[in-house]
A and B are shown apart, each in its own frame.
Chain A
Amino acid sequence: MQRAAILTGVAARTNFKQDHEGCLPTMQVTPLILVLLFLSVIAYYFGKRRSLQIAESHGGVKNLHSLPSYYGAWVAFWAVVPVLLMLLAWKTFEPRALNAMLINELPAEMREQAPDRVGLSVNDIKNLASGNITSGDVTPEIQAAANRFNELRRSSTVSMTVLAFALLGIGGVWTYRRIHPNVRARNNVERYVRITLIVCSSIAILTTLGIVLSVLFESIRFFQRVPWTEFLFGTQWSPQTAIRADQVGSSGAFGAVPLFTGTMLIALIAMVVAAPIGLMSAIYLVEYANRRVRAVAKPLLEILAGIPTVVYGFFAALTVAPMVRGIGTSLGLDVASESALAAGLVMGIMIIPFVSSLSDDVINAVPQAMRDGAYALGATRSETVRQVVIPAALPGIVGGLLLAVSRAIGETMIVVMAAGLAANLTANPLSAVTTVTVQIVTLLTGDQEFDSAKTLAAFALGLVLFVLTLGLNVLALYVVRKYREQYE
């Protein structure tokens, strides 16, 4: 529990805890890396020079297995890469090790407090050590521990630097001494390059794994507190958990059905706007428009896709929502100021280029022979489009629409700014609804404790969102692939 935040001013959203933990050491790593890069250039130079020297005693450069530059690269690689890996590992484990050592050395009465109290003290100590404001009074013990923490941190940095240079020397000298005309330096270097490439391309898998694991673990912890049946099927959403047990209104209901319906409602409105407009523009651009119109209209549609969502959110909240409300009121309807309709409309505008460019591609991919066949039978253009082109392109269009739905479900800023926070279970587009993404943002911004059901609920919602969008994408790709098999 980290309640050491100093909340200044009115806005509770300014959840700004200055956590300097990682700040100081990282600043020392940057110059270290620059020095390393410089040393790697030197290692390259020496390796290359040595290979040339050795070549002379073996009857010239032509007797070297590889070009001299590969020997240089070989030495530079072994001088620097082990050090970089070591630095990475050190930085990853340093904060935890320091924490453990600090807690170990705390006086017994401080160490034997409740775990969250210890955490608070540790936080205080760190803040004091970095010269920040602490939450409580600075007792002599805390001051002593802060000094000790600084000492630990300093010795950690010193030993890291020493180790870095030792590794650099060992690796560099070892390869330097092994340079010989028979060493297959090029093959070695190319192997390292290959390994680096494989590692880089595996980051995609690591990312997916990271997403799944981080979201899954927190969700499992959430479902230990709130049964998953209540989460998936409950109709009451009010995540305000109490800090004290005797507070009123602290029930903390986590039934997410209103969020799901709200998300679906807004996505539906968006699709009602985007699907016909996007599809019809794609048809017009492919089948009717001449080159000049296409050259102007297509980039304009693509601009819509390039506008940041926060801009759409602002537009929805400040321009469209009052307009919808005004029109509704003049028709005698009761429109909420943050209506699902306004958010959905703007989201629909955002998705238009998405639908149109995907449909554009699939309609273009329909073989011209099929159109020609229809014209030969006397069909008009629109009849050809409706009865030949669209049916042929249908799987691709459906796939594109599914991707668009997935985009609408995962869209955040528009709904955060234009849809409300009220978890109403309703299908009325004129009332305020909330969505999964809005709730994730609300639960995770503002003052938070990491272990409460409230924050964990955000991860459970994230899991639902991830699974839902992933499912839609897989389905869409499946549909599209199925279609491709027919025509290529």
Chain B
Amino acid sequence: MSNSEKVTAAAGRPAIADKVRESLGKRYRAEQRFQLYGIIAITMAILFLGFLFASIISRGISAFQATYVNLEINFDESVIDPDGGRDPEVLHKASYRGVLRQSLQDLFPEASGRSERRALLALISNGAEFQLRDLVVENPELIGTRQNVWLLAAAEVDSVVKGQVDLDLDESQRRMSDQQVGWINQLQNDDRVERRFNTTLFTNGDSRDPEQAGLRVALLGSFYTLLVTLALSFPIGVAAAVYLEEFAPKNKWTDLIEVNINNLAAVPSIVFGLLGLAVFINLFGMPRSAPLVGGLVLTLMTLPTIIIASRAALKSVPPSIREAALGVGASQTQTVTHHVLPLAMPGMLTGTIIGMAQALGETAPLLMIGMIAFIVDPPSGVTDPATVLPVQIYLWADSPERGFVAKTSAAIMVLLGFLILMNAIAVLLRKRFERRW
């Protein structure tokens, strides 16, 4: 130790105070930096959230509107019903595409040649001919008249009308030729184009044509699947929670159950799908793609969530309630069913709703049990093949057609809407029935 150091050490306190004072500025700056990191982290997380929502809403909002074209349809008797018999069979099988083509031709007489006529017909959705068919079958008096009918436009026309297509692009780079765009403009000038709320999105099943694809099958499938899940997981989950919290003796078996529940809560969802495939489908021979199997798999998945929430709700009921009931001579089962359960019910319901929301958003295990089928007809029960909302989103996201991007985003908005609704109900329930003892 050198001389000079000894001197400062002897002087002692003022030197340390100086050192502290010197370092203070640095320390305060470090403090501010640290606080800034925290703010940046939260801001980033919230920005991600905002960006996610913005990107989905900006893509999807347009899909809630569909473009319709008004055409004067010539229900030509010689095309629809040459014999004049009005036989429903004949009416059903007639060439409405021909009717449609003729009507388009009347509107744009300049279109000549095969390819031009085909381009003209491509303006209208493939489903339009069925729309015309249904009109005629329902109301045969239309034959031989001319009627103005609003028909669904093709997805590409929809994009052009909504201004999503860069018309400065070279003709070869886009799906609509200049000629077709010209026709669309002409239709628009004649007030024959209208954008309306897209009811097709909710009334149709899946389709290869974006403009005709709808969520009906997926919504019904999700409904049936959740119905099965709720019917099984709520009673079983509550029963398990009641047993573990109110009756179970402290032994190895109870410990094993608890460890299992905690671990199941963290098992990847896709593993539950493997279980469903191996046990429910291959071992028990249950039907593939059915909401019944999907509901069973989701039940096993949501059970831990419901059990854990229900146990927390039971724990929050004060012991004095139980003691009072036991004191006036109720049996243990009566104590639980008459006094503890009613008090814990709001908490259990909240947990169940949150579990159901999770189940509604779950995709991976349902892929495993074959719920990714292409299904047009809505299911009429829990054993009919169906798909669910998130799987439909996955299927549409995989579709190459441009129109499906907007559809997918719209489907996501529908899904998020349901989730927000469910969580809002859970929050309300908690607020309404929350009790401080």
Contacts and interface: CB of A to CB of B under 8 A. Distances in A.
Does B associate with A?
Answer: yes
Interface of A: 9, 11, 13-23, 26-27, 92, 95-96, 186, 190, 193-194, 196-198, 200-205, 207-208, 210-211, 214-215, 217-218, 276-281, 283-285, 287-288, 297, 300-301, 303-304, 306-315, 317-319, 349, 352-353, 356, 378, 380-383, 385-386, 403, 406-407, 409-413, 416-417, 437, 440-441, 444-445, 450, 458-459, 462, 465-466, 469-470, 473-474, 477
A411 B267 CA distance: 10
A409 B373 contact: no
A16 B375 contact: yes
Those 4 A-B pairs whose CB atoms lie nearest each other, nearest first: A410-B268, A284-B38, A308-B361, A214-B278
A20 B56 CA distance: 38
Contacts of A297: 42, 46
B333 A459 contact: no
Contacts of A317: 397
B30 interface: yes
A386 B34 CA distance: 10
A336 to B, nearest CB: 18
B30 A382 contact: yes
B55 A315 contact: yes
Interface stretch (B125-133, B143-151, B191-199, B238-246): B238-246
B170 interface: no
B376 to A, nearest CB: 11
24 contacts: A14-B374, A15-B370, A22-B383, A26-B383, A186-B331, A194-B247, A200-B239, A202-B257, A207-B303, A214-B279, A214-B283, A215-B271, A284-B35, A306-B423, A310-B393, A314-B408, A314-B409, A381-B34, A410-B267, A411-B268, A412-B364, A417-B398, A437-B270, A445-B368
A203 B38 contact: no
A437 B267 CA distance: 13
Contacts of A381: 31, 34-35
B388 to A, nearest CB: 10
Contacts of B205: none
Nearest to A190: B333
A380 B27 CA distance: 8
Nearest to B206: A14
Contacts, number: 298
A263 to B, nearest CB: 11
B390 interface: yes
Residue of A281, A308, A380, A407 ringed by the most chain B CB atoms within 10 A: A308
Given A190-B333, A313-B394, A413 B364 contact: yes
Interface string B368-401: 1010111100000111110000110111011000
B45 A469 contact: no
A353 B52 CA distance: 15
A13 B52 contact: no
A342 to B, nearest CB: 14
Given A16-B385, A382-B30, A207 B55 contact: no
Interface in B26-55: 27-28, 30-31, 33-35, 37-42, 44-46, 48-49, 51-52, 55
Given A310-B363, A462-B270, 16 more contacts: A22-B287, A26-B292, A190-B333, A197-B242, A204-B264, A211-B275, A300-B46, A304-B45, A307-B52, A310-B390, A318-B59, A412-B269, A416-B394, A440-B270, A444-B277, A466-B268
B188 interface: no
Interface stretch (B85-93, B174-182, B412-420): B412-420
B307 interface: yes
B405 A318 contact: yes
Contacts of A385: 34
A92 B51 CA distance: 49
B367 interface: yes
A408 B385 CA distance: 31
B312 interface: no
Most buried by A among B42, B374, B395: B42
A14 B372 contact: yes
Contacts of A281: 38, 41-42, 45
B304 interface: yes
B267 A311 contact: no
B372 A15 contact: yes
A319 B56 CA distance: 9
Contacts of B372: 13-15, 445
Contacts of B274: 211, 214-215, 440, 444, 458-459, 462
B243 A197 contact: yes
B275 A301 contact: no
A457 B270 CA distance: 15
Q: Is the interface of B mostly helix, strand, loop or mixed?
A: helix
Nearest to B394: A310
A27 B382 CA distance: 9
Contacts of B28: 380
B216 interface: no
B270 A410 contact: yes
B357 A306 contact: yes
A376 B418 CA distance: 51
B35 A201 contact: no
Given A21-B287, A308-B390, A409-B268, A284 B292 contact: no
A170 to B, nearest CB: 27
Contacts of B363: 308-310, 412-413
Contacts of A473: 262-263, 266
Given A27-B381, A203-B240, A277 B397 contact: no
A391 B423 CA distance: 36
B437 interface: no
Most B CB contacts (10 A, CB to CB) among A211, A278, A386 go to A211
A474 to B, nearest CB: 8
A262 to B, nearest CB: 16
B362 interface: yes
Contacts of B326: none
B272 interface: yes
B285 interface: yes
Nearest to A304: B49
Contacts of A308: 360-363, 390, 415, 419
A477 B393 CA distance: 35
Given A22-B383, A281-B41, A380-B27, A304 B331 contact: no
Contact of A210 (B236, B279, B286): B279
Given A16-B289, A16-B385, A18-B385, A380 B374 contact: no
Nearest to B261: A204
Interface string B331-371: 11100000000000000000000000100111110011010
A465 B243 contact: no
B169 interface: no
Contact of B268 (A14, A200, A465): A465
A421 to B, nearest CB: 13
Given A200-B239, A466-B271, A284 B39 contact: yes
B394 A300 contact: no
Contacts of A214: 274-275, 278-279, 283
B66 to A, nearest CB: 21
Contacts of B415: 308, 311
A203 B303 contact: yes
Given A13-B398, A207-B275, A194 B41 contact: no
B35 to A, nearest CB: 6
A198 to B, nearest CB: 6
B7 interface: no
The listed residue with most B CB atoms (<10 A of its CB), out of A193, A194, A279, A297, is A193
A238 B39 CA distance: 46
A477 B262 CA distance: 10
